[in-house]
């Protein structure tokens, strides 16, 4: 069992932070790596990239958005509760080198994944410009932490409720014109990573993206997470999750992410019904 020592609702009932006891993983984990979590005996295995690790306290931190039944079950776990299973660290760590000017682009909960990578890039002596994007102010997570480790921070929101109104690509385009990056790291929803890659491709700026395909084991034994990169089939769990954004087949990835959509929607609806029934029961008792 893997105990939750700290829980924060970064966005109430939607974006959740869990700091979890897992000493072996915390000792070995490097930026860019992920864990697989399973909350109950009957639950499924869900990959989440670590937002932080602390070898001293022996804890790892994940941040996730509630998008379906499993993340809804995760979000119901409180401080002191435990996940039945936590496996990691998995995947290849990010290649951290001093290259000069690194622009880190994060969207939504991708900002959590970007956090340890940006920190390591800064520590390696790079000048770090960070562009964060969210639909509105509430959803812009880790703004202070990212600001503290970046030389420059630019916040963008779809509705203009924080920072500037617009997309992360708008800000990136301006930077490319005035202060050309040596490396771009983009992590967020597939359409965002695709747009960033399309923007940097003609300029020949090396662009790393962190892919999030469906996974089962996370150790290379099933190929469920396969993606096409440079025309070749690669397993994101062992060859990735980071790849050259200019070589990734994003439409293939987007399609495969929809493989279980109908079943997921059904499972979530059934889960919600059960939760509401339970709530009604509790209210009646009260």
Residues in contact with other proteins by the rule CB under 8 A:
24-25, 28, 38, 42-45, 69-70, 84-90, 216-217, 219-224, 226-228, 233, 238, 252, 255-256, 258-260, 263-264, 267
C-beta of residue 195 within 8 angstroms of C-beta of residue 171:
no
Work out how close the CB of 119 gets to other proteins at its nearest, in angstroms, rounded to a whole number. Answer: 21
Work out how close the CB of 108 gets to other proteins at its nearest, in angstroms, rounded to a whole number. Answer: 23
The SS3 call for residue 40 is coil
CA distances to 9, 89, 114, 127 from 38, rounded to whole Å, are 20, 15, 23, 38
Buried b / exposed e along 84-101 (16+ C-beta atoms within 10 A): ebbbbbbbbbbebeebeb
What residues contact 278, with CB distance under 8 A and at least 6 apart?
none
CA 155 to chain centre: 18
Nearest to 193 by CA among 106, 68, 131: 106
Beta-strand relationship, 242-244 and 34-38: unpaired
Work out how close the CB of 187 gets to other proteins at its nearest, in angstroms, rounded to a whole number. Answer: 21
Q: Tell me how far apart the alpha carbons of residues 43 and 201 are, in angstroms, rounded to a whole number.
A: 40
Comparing CB distances to other proteins, the nearer of 39 and 199 is: 39
Work out how close the CB of 145 gets to other proteins at its nearest, in angstroms, rounded to a whole number. Answer: 26
Instruction: Indicate the helix (H) or strand (E) that contains 103.
Output: strand 101-107
Work out how close the CB of 265 gets to other proteins at its nearest, in angstroms, rounded to a whole number. Answer: 11
Residue 19 β-bridge partners: 6, 61
Instruction: Indicate the helix (H) or strand (E) that contains 146.
Output: helix 143-149
Work out how close the CB of 248 gets to other proteins at its nearest, in angstroms, rounded to a whole number. Answer: 13
Rounded CA Rg of the chain? 19
Work out how close the CB of 167 gets to other proteins at its nearest, in angstroms, rounded to a whole number. Answer: 26
How many residues make up the chain in this entry? Answer: 286
Residue 34 β-bridge partners: 49, 90
């Amino acid at each position: 069992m893997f105990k939750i020592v700290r829980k924060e609702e970064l966005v109430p009932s939607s974006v959740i932070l869990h700091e979890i006891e897992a000493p072996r993983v915390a000792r070995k984990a490097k930026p860019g790596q992920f864990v697989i979590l399973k909350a109950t005996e009957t639950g499924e295995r869900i990959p989440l990239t670590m937002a932080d690790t602390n070898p001293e306290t022996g804890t790892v931190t994940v941040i996730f958005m509630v998008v379906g039944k499993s993340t809804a079950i995760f979000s119901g776990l409180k401080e002191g509760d435990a996940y039945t299973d936590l496996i990691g660290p998995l995947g290849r760590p990010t290649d951290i080198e001093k290259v000069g000017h690194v622009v880190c682009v994060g969207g939504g909960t991708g900002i959590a994944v970007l956090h340890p990578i940006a920190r390591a890039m800064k520590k390696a002596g790079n000048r770090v410009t960070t562009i964060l994007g969210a639909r509105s102010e509430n959803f812009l997570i880790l703004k202070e932490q990212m600001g503290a480790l970046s030389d420059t921070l630019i916040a963008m929101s779809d509705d203009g409720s924080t920072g500037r109104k617009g997309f992360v690509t708008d800000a990136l385009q301006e930077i490319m014109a005035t202060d050309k990056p040596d490396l771009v790291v983009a992590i967020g929803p597939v359409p965002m990573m695709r747009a960033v890659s399309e923007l940097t491709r003609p300029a020949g700026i090396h662009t790393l993206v962190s892919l999030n395909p469906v996974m089962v084991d996370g150790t290379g034994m099933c190929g469920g997470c396969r993606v096409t990169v440079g025309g070749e089939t690669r397993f994101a769990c062992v060859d990735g999750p980071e790849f050259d954004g200019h070589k990734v087949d994003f439409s293939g990835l987007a399609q495969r992410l929809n493989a279980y959509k109908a079943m997921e929607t059904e499972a979530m609806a059934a889960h919600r019904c059960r939760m509401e029934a339970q709530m009604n029961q509790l209210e009646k008792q009260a």
